[in-house]
Homo-oligomer: A and B are copies of this chain.
Amino acid sequence: MSSKRTATTGSAHVRERRQQRQRDILHAALRAFRENGYHATTLDDIAGHLGVRKTALYHYFPDKEAILYECHRESLNEIRRVMKEAMKLETATERLGYVIREHVRVITGNLDGSPLALEVPALSTERQAEIIATRDRYERDLRKLIEQGVKSGEFREVDSKIAAFVILGAINWIARWYRPEGALHARELGTEFADHLLGGLACR
């Protein structure tokens, strides 16, 4: 009694291909969302990038909002994984540097996208609440990380709230101007941003 939506039936190979197709769709959608915004992006736009009609998308996602939702989930999961990984490092400086570099990587990466840069209000109320809750957890972790650095004497005394907003803003804003074909490349960007933003916290 599985619904059409979940589609638990089918062989392993088929399921695998289906997942790959879903990833393709998310990828195309993410790119379009980032460039034109959610509302300005039509399903035809997304489907067109895949050489397919928009109705084909409905075999993989129930509606347009679900695509945006998955983009958010994907990105947020990645970014929270980064935060967890960072905690294995020793000093606050190392941890924050790692988070910044990886966050930049996620933003500029193709598959995962611009997590906080996407339009949240377009989601339904419940989904919005979930995404915001996850995002807030990440932001809280980031603030804590900064406060640790202040306590340990690595950073100067700053308002962790503002410091976190500065860092998040600088990074998320990348989604607005970054183009893969551009002069600035992703890898260097991460270290440069880390340098710069850590510099703003260093003791003088």
Say whether A172 contacts B169, CB under 8 Å: yes
Minimum CB distance partner of A175 in chain B: B169
Query: Do A166 and B197 contact each other (CB < 8 Å), given the known contacts A173-B173, A192-B159, A202-B204?
Result: yes
A201 to B195, CA, bound (A): 10
Q: In the complex, A21 Cα to B38 Cα: how many Å?
A: 31
- For the complex, would chain A's binding face be called helix, strand, loop or mixed by DSSP majority? helix
Interface string of A168-204 (1 = CB under 8 A from B): 1111111011000000100001001100110111101
Which residues of chain B come closer than 8 Å to A199, judged between CB atoms?
156, 199-202, 204
Answer whether residue A162 sits at the interface, using C-beta atoms and an 8 A cutoff.
yes
Which of B159, B165, B201 sits near A174, CB closer than 8 Å? B165
**How far, in angstroms, from A35 to B122 measured CA to CA in the complex?**
11
